[in-house]
Amino acid sequence: MVKKIYFQSIFFSFFFNKEAFAAESGGMPQLNPEFWISQIFWLILTFGVMYLVLSKLILPKISNNLESRKSQILENIEAAEKQREDSDTKLKEYEEIISKSKLEANSIFNQTREKVLKDISAKRDVLDKQIDDEIAEAEKEINTLRKNAPDKINKIAIETSSELLQKLIGTEVNKSSISAIVDDLSKRNGDKYYGN
């Protein structure tokens, strides 16, 4: 019901509008030539002035602005590219320096190591020689000591045995016979005592 009234009222109002439109004027105001000349005049005047101002003053400025921005951006890009290239070459140089110094350090290290090794070996040789000399001397001393040792021992043995004999039997025994016995013993048993 409400719907029906609604659409009816739409229809009637359109009817009203049409009535009013038909009653008020005889059609489109656009076709009334009363102000045609005035509209043409004002159109040419306003459009002409606008065209002149736009084409002579404003549009060149805008195009200038756009161009200058474009060139500025291009310049900036160029500068940035150049700086990047610069930094690339710098980086390369830096890397070269680093690798070169690494090599140098390596060679210095190797050289010093060699030198130190040489030094050490030379010193060791000297020391070895000294030690060998000392050992040889000591051995010589030992040998002389060892050579002299049986004589001294024989002497002690002769003296001790003669004194012993004297105390035991009360008479002096011929020293030469005792020494002969001791010599004989020492010759026989020397190996056992002295390790020769």
Partner 1 sequence: MAANPMSQFDVYRIGPEIKVGAFDISFTNASLFMILSTLSILLIFNLGSKKNSVLPNKIQLLAELSYTFVSKMISDTAGSKAKPYFAFIFSLFMFVLFCNMFGMIPYTFTVTSHIIVTFVLASFIFIGVTVIGFIKHGFGYLKLFVPSGVPAVLLPLIVVIEIISYLSRPISLSVRLFANMMAGHTMMKVFGGFVISLGIVGGWLPLSFSVALTGLEILVAFLQAYVFAILTCIYLNDALNLHH
Would you say 154 and 182 are in contact if contact means Cβ atoms under 8 Å apart?
Answer: yes
* Site for partner 1, residues 81 to 120, rule: CB under 8 A: none
Between CA 117 and CA 101 the distance in angstroms is 24
Q: Which of 1, 29, 168, 191 binds partner 1 (CB under 8 A)?
A: 29
Q: Examine residue 34 and tell whether it contacts partner 1 (CB under 8 A).
A: yes
Which among 13-21, 92-100, 122-130, 187-195 is the span making contact with partner 1, rule CB under 8 A?
Answer: 13-21
Which among 60-68, 87-95, 123-131, 159-167 is the span making contact with partner 1, rule CB under 8 A?
Answer: 60-68
Q: Which is nearer to partner 1, 33 or 195 (CB)?
A: 33
3-state secondary structure of 156: helix
Q: Examine residue 50 and tell whether it contacts partner 1 (CB under 8 A).
A: yes
| Amino acid making up residue 164 | L
With a CB cutoff of 8 Å and minimum separation 6, the contacts of 30 are none
Q: Examine residue 170 and tell whether it contacts partner 1 (CB under 8 A).
A: no
Taking the CA atoms of residue 52, residue 53, residue 59 and residue 62 in that order, the dihedral angle to the nearest 10 degrees is 170
Q: Kindly list the distances between the CA atom of residue 139 and the CA atoms of 129, 147, 189, in Å, as whole numbers in the listed order.
A: 15, 12, 24
> Which parts of this chain interact with partner 1 (CB under 8 A)?
5-6, 9-10, 13-14, 16-17, 20-21, 24-25, 27-32, 34-44, 46-47, 49-51, 53-55, 57-59, 61-66, 68-69, 72-73
